[in-house]
Amino acid sequence: MSDPMLRVDNLVVRYGDIRAVKGISFQVQQGEILALVGANGAGKTTTLRAISGMLPFEGSVVLEGRDLRGLTPDRILRLGLSHVPEGRGIFGGLTVMENLQLGAWIRRDKAGRARDLELVMDVFPRLRERVAQLAGTLSGGEQQMLALARARMSDARILILDEPSMGLAPKLVQEVFAVLRQLNKRGVTILLVEQNANMALRLAHRACLLETGNLVLEGPASELLVNPRVREAYLGAG
Amino acid sequence: MDYFAQQAINAIQLGSIYALIALGYSMVYGVLVMINFAHGDVFMVSSFFCFLLLLLLPVPFVAALIIVMLATAVLGVALERLAYRPLRNAPRVSAIITALGCGLIIQNTTLSLSPYSQRMPELFVPVTWNFGGVTVSSLQLLIIGVSVGLMIGLDFFIRRTRYGMAMRAIAQDRITVPLMGIPVNTMIALTFAIGAALGGAAGVLYASAYPVISATMGVLIGWKAFVAAVIGGIGSVRGAVLGAYVLGSVEVFTVTVLPSTYRDLVVYALLLVILIFKPYGLLGRPAVQKV
């Protein structure tokens, strides 16, 4: 197997005395979608926050051979990793266009930015109609689309997504996941955290199951989808 | 009528100076939700920068303005870096007490170096015109012109440039901003630099208009500018400007109908009344509670 794009080794994250993530290891290969699934409090969000530099951690996180320890989120983004946070992190008082421009903050190439803006408008046609609107006036689904579009504007090679389906109606969840599949086809590697294990496992190539800060299962997503333990606990099937 | 027009010009002049100072309070509050109580003393000390500069080197007005604005910006950034940044995640009351302490340090340092009021050398020899009974001096026009120019420049910066956009984003969600690749500390330092530089401009203009400066003048004028920012809606840049002109007008016109000792009473009564009916100020918006 070739060198992974993102390698997480023995990751431990503490909140005070409490270890929220207790030494997990996994890898994300170039071009794949890896899903981290698990219940509330399993440590999924904490793992993502450690990777993108929002929380200090022990162990190691290596992106394309570069150790990310001690780097701030803005530095990590410049290395090609974009984090779409839980709750989307849309700037509601700024317009849709301004949100997209902020997403492209780190890029100096005007031509590339203009090209990606067009691409993003094609992938997210509803944003095109709303570029001048304040982002806070968008519906939840549109805001999630904007968050993804904004992350795409950074030209990151790997997106890490925290609960993109949160608070969305089932039809919108389908739409969001279709967009993720499309972004992945265009070459974006994705690390996805989801409580909606069913959807996530249908989208992902591989998946890891987290339980109370430990990684308890890892394998092809299609296998986890039929694994009795996963089905019982997370897919609502006996 | 002439009398009214005369007072209106005075009100605009005073309001312009308040506005430049109020912007510093409002911008810092916007990005950090913190009230920089040292800002009035930063304004005061900028007048002394101007005084010292003119003692050493009789430069023309524009050069003095630019040099003092830069020096004051450096002071603002130093305050943020040395005093406020280490407390960024401390309880808010710690930051407020620290700001008050910084103000006292600046004030008392100035006081120990200059225990008495100083007479400013004349920066500018004003010409006065008389328009049918209304006297306007070139100094008044200069003060108003420089202030309005700086405010328009600031408005453009905040609304139209990428750094301005980043500042507005920080004001909304400081946690998400680094995920856009924006260095938050740099942007916060820039906010302090701009706020202090505007306070520095106010210091130069104030010392030109009212050429006796003292180490304690930042207290009262700083408070007035803070009140202006609150009346306008603290955190709002346009609100700070509106609040400052409202306050300047109220002060000037109060004195035309009441004894001058009533001036501050009326100003603070106005603050209370406005806060009863508009708790977030004239243009302020309630903070969005995150769920």
pLDDT digits (tens, 9 = 90+) for B82-104: 999 999 989 989 999 999 999 99
Round to whole Å and give the CA distance between A124 and A147. 11
Question: Is the ipTM above a cut-off of 0.95?
Answer: no
Round to whole Å and give the CA distance between B236 and B224. 17
- Expressed in percent and rounded to 5, the helix, strand and coil fractions of chain A are 40, 25, 35
CB B249 within 8 A of CB B15: yes
- Report the range of poorest mean pLDDT among B46-50, B121-125, B151-155, B242-246: B121-125
Report the pLDDT value the prediction gives residue B1, as an integer from 0 to 100. 64
Helix (H) or strand (E) holding A25: strand A18-28
- Report the range of poorest mean pLDDT among B6-10, B58-62, B120-124: B120-124
Average pLDDT over residues B104-113: 96
Residue A238 has pLDDT above 50, yes or no: no
Question: What is the per-residue pLDDT across A194-228, written as a single tens digit (0 to 9) for each?
Answer: 988 999 999 999 999 999 999 999 999 999 999 98
Residue with token string 């051979």: A65
Average pLDDT over residues B98-124: 93
- Among partner residues B168, B180, B183, which is closest to A103 by beta-carbon distance? B180
CB B219 within 8 A of CB B39: no
Shortest distance, CA A225 to any CA of chain B (angstroms): 32
CB B46 within 8 A of CB B204: yes
Shortest distance, CA A110 to any CA of chain B (angstroms): 14
Q: B221: Cβ–Cβ under 8 A, 6 or more apart, which residues?
A: B17, B18, B21, B40, B43, B44, B206
Helix axes B263-277, B237-257, angle to 10 degrees: 140
Report the pLDDT value the prediction gives residue B291, as an integer from 0 to 100. 36
Inter-chain CB proximity B178 and A74 less than 8 Å: yes
Q: Where are chain B's structural domains?
A: 2-123+133-216
Round to whole Å and give the CA distance between B266 and B68. 33
Shortest distance, CA A209 to any CA of chain B (angstroms): 26
- Establish if B178 touches chain A: CB-CB under 8 angstroms: yes
Answer left, alpha or beta for residue B254, where phi above 0 means left and psi between -120 and 50 means alpha: alpha
Q: A134: Cβ–Cβ under 8 A, 6 or more apart, which residues?
A: A92, A93, A94, A95, A96
Burial of B64 (0-12, 13-18, 19+ CB in 10 A): buried
Inter-chain CB proximity A89 and B179 less than 8 Å: yes
pLDDT band at A81; cut points 50, 70, 90: very high
Which residues does chain B have within 8 Å of residue A103's beta carbon, measured at their own beta carbons?
180
Sign of CA dihedral A54, A58, A63, A68: positive
Round to whole Å and give the CA distance between A154 and A102. 9
Q: What percent of chain B has pLDDT over 90?
A: 82
Residue A182 has pLDDT above 50, yes or no: yes
Question: What is the per-residue pLDDT across B187-238, written as a single tens digit (0 to 9) for each?
Answer: 999 999 999 999 999 999 999 999 999 999 999 999 999 999 999 999 999 9
- Among partner residues B166, B172, B290, which is closest to A93 by beta-carbon distance? B172
Residue B290 has pLDDT above 90, yes or no: no
Report the pLDDT value the prediction gives residue A1, as an integer from 0 to 100. 55
Residue B267 has pLDDT above 70, yes or no: yes
Shortest distance, CA B212 to any CA of chain A (angstroms): 44
Q: B145: Cβ–Cβ under 8 A, 6 or more apart, which residues?
A: none
Look up the pTM and report it. 0.91
Average pLDDT over residues B23-44: 95
Inter-chain CB proximity B181 and A78 less than 8 Å: yes
Report the pLDDT value the prediction gives residue B285, as an integer from 0 to 100. 77
pLDDT band at B106; cut points 50, 70, 90: very high
Helix (H) or strand (E) holding A11: strand A6-15
- Triad B137, B242, B88: Cα angle to 5°: 115
